[in-house]
Amino acid sequence: MVRKSQASSSPPPPLILALETSGTCGSVALVDGGGCRAEYSLQSSRTHSRRLLDAVAGLMRECETDWAQLDAIAVSLGPGSFTGLRIGLSSAKGLALATAKPLIGISSLDGLAVQGGQQPLPVCALIDARKQEVFAGFYQVSPAPKDSPAGPAEAGPIGGLRRCRPFLALPPRDLAAMITEPTLLLGSGAQLYRDLLQQELGVLALFAPPQLCFARAAAIGMLAQAKWRQGDFLDPARATPIYVRSSDAQLP
């Protein structure tokens, strides 16, 4: 008896439009099973609302991709710039509803962490939180223990990494006090507070090169592939950003 190959029944890799607006460098990308088809990033003082949808339309046009060909819309949920996150999520919601495509949310810190690549060191992804603080995510390549403070919901793999504690918003010196072994630091927070972290941590601080430190939509799209396969989608009517701390409007 000849058995049919199981691979032939597998669904094709999804084509995902990804949006990343957690920082000043906004980014959009088209990602499929082969990697990133195209990506557009722009560092600008203008708000994302004035250029995000134009960038999406331009990317789709240059890639000769029709909306019907997309399998999902992915968006960075944060933490990051409160205004940027709201603009990115509202835009992604609108696109998902208009095209009837599933909406997938990915943490901006998770997206940053996987940009460090496959290496054995612990990873600390840092985003400038303003007010002399950073948003931080800690990751390990090895599996998290059952009693990990991250909890069961955070114990799953994230692009080959595992998140080892909940997201934090804290001063850089407090962050440095938590690091007790050589750790790869990356992201806008690592760049902004590099001198302070180097002084506090010495040889324990290993900094990723600048080209890996800005959040990319391609990383968001690649992480969204696994969620698409799992059917892990957001309800556009209920989806909210990951703020970690209160928005500026709510702070005293």
User: Rounded CA gap, 230 and 136, in Å?
Assistant: 26
Q: In this structure, are 98 and 221 located in the same domain?
A: yes
Q: In this structure, are 68 and 139 located in the same domain?
A: no
**Domain region containing 72:** 12-109+214-250
Answer whether residue 20 is part of any domain: yes
User: Rounded CA gap, 245 and 81, in Å?
Assistant: 11
Q: In this structure, are 130 and 244 located in the same domain?
A: no
Q: In this structure, are 88 and 132 located in the same domain?
A: no
Nearest Cα to Cα of residue 31 among 246, 223, 199: 223
User: What is the number of structural domains in the chain?
Assistant: 2
- Provide the CATH number for the domain around residue 153: 3.30.420.40
Answer whether residue 103 is part of any domain: yes
Q: In this structure, are 16 and 105 located in the same domain?
A: yes
Nearest Cα to Cα of residue 68 among 12, 10, 15: 15
pLDDT at 8: 47
pLDDT one digit per residue (tens) for the chain, 252 residues: 333 444 445 678 899 999 999 988 889 999 998 899 999 988 765 666 668 899 999 999 999 999 999 999 999 999 999 999 999 999 999 999 999 999 999 999 999 999 988 788 999 999 999 999 999 999 998 564 555 454 433 445 688 899 999 999 999 999 999 999 999 999 999 999 999 999 999 999 999 999 889 899 999 999 999 999 999 999 999 999 999 986 554 443
> φ, ψ for residue 131 (rounded to 5)?
55, 35
Cβ neighbors of 235 (< 8 A, separation 6 or more) are 103
Answer whether residue 75 is part of any domain: yes
Classify 240 as helix, strand or coil: coil
Answer whether residue 6 is part of any domain: no
Q: In this structure, are 206 and 219 located in the same domain?
A: no
Query: 231 with 127: CB under 8 angstroms?
Result: no
State the pTM of this model.
0.86
Classify 162 as helix, strand or coil: strand
Residue type, 15: L
